């Protein structure tokens, strides 16, 4: 299987999805990076009690750092 045959989940994003992800994560990220950020964010939300705005903001920053470091 070559790279052209691999699935590209970012192709499934609607225009509205892209707008929402750009608002949440920033416009400087590519769609595949938004998907990775959302995946990590969701995993962390299901693992920890994330209720208040400060914790959500901290988690968003943590996800961005994780993406940059990996």
What is the tally of structural domains in the chain? 1
Domain extent, residue 56, equals 32-70
Residue 23 covered by a domain: no
pLDDT block averages, 10 residues each, the chain of length 70 = 62 91 95 95 94 94 96
pLDDT of residue 63: 97
Indicate whether 14 belongs to any domain: no
Q: Buried b vs exposed e over 29-65: b needs ≥16 C-beta within 10 Å? A: bebebbbbbbebbeeeeeeeeeeeeeeeeebbeebbe
The predicted model scores a pTM of 0.82
Instruction: For residue 54, tell me if it sits in a domain.
Output: yes
């Amino acid at each position: 299987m070559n790279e052209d045959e691999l699935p590209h989940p970012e192709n499934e994003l609607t225009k509205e999805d892209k707008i929402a992800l750009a608002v949440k994560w920033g416009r400087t990220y590519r769609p595949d990076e938004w998907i990775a950020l959302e995946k990590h964010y969701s995993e962390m939300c299901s693992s920890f009690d994330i209720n208040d705005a400060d914790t959500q903001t901290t988690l968003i920053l943590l996800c961005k750092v994780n993406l940059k470091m990996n």
